[in-house]
Amino acid sequence: MSDLFNAALVFTQIPKVLQALPVTLWLTILSLICGLAVGLGVAVVRISRIPVLLELCKLYVSITRGTPVIVQLYLTYFGIPLILRYVNYYNGTNFNINSVPPIVFALIALSLNQGAYSSETIRAAILSVDKGQIEAAHSLGMTAAQLLRRIVIPQAFIVALPSLGNSLIALLKETSLAFVCSVVDITARGKILAGNSYRFFESYCSVAIIYWVLTLMVEQAVRYAEKRLRVPDTAPALAKTLPKERS
């Protein structure tokens, strides 16, 4: 019965699984940055209601949110090489499809997925910004880019931070599916070790512990950022300093 589960192996395999941690972290960070850029662009288009782009953005969000992430990874992994072959055939180019690193396919798929989900969060956060401040910025002659950079994005980021933190945690866990694109991340590393030792349960327990610890660290980082960026309510303190009205 003692051979059914080897608890010591769970912890001795963690350092081996952690060899793939940089891949998971880089994939998560880059997908988050690219996804936020895509989400911001989609949110601005939907708020501005640009005719043609608006319908395209709605279609993109609908397709992305209506299909599983693993299917999107497969479509990207097999679709991009197919597109490059068509480009090579019709344009006489010679793009080397095999030279594209597998992590690029996972990065594109996860970034587009993150962009679709974060666009709704960013759009709601932008709409929460006080209209009076926007009108004042327009009256001062600010351009649309200056308005976004100086007024809208800083305030919207604070509002959207809790939801974006949850999206980051979900994205971190979604990177575990990158192995379908031949990316050796934490999950793929655990799968390789399990195939070598035939201790599948112990290997995946090691993987689960690593993801759990990473998730706890992200949660604490988001909470710390919320406390640091939270605007204090100065109204009660300001009321105490004001002179009382004479009766």
Domains in the chain, start-ordered, CATH in brackets? Answer: 14-69+111-229 (1.10.3720.10)
pLDDT, tens digit, 9 for 90 and up, residues 203-215: 999 999 999 999 9
Residues 6+ apart with CB under 8 A from 134: 147, 151, 152
pLDDT, tens digit, 9 for 90 and up, residues 99-137: 888 999 999 999 999 999 999 999 999 888 888 888 888
pTM of the model: 0.85
Confidence of residue 2 (pLDDT cuts 50, 70, 90): low
- Where helices occur in 92-181 by DSSP H, the ranges are 102-127, 131-139, 144-147, 153-174
pLDDT, tens digit, 9 for 90 and up, residues 145-189: 888 888 888 888 888 898 999 999 999 999 999 999 999 999 999
Higher pLDDT, 180 or 243: 180
Confidence of residue 246 (pLDDT cuts 50, 70, 90): very low
Residue 128 three-state SS:
coil
Higher pLDDT, 22 or 153: 22
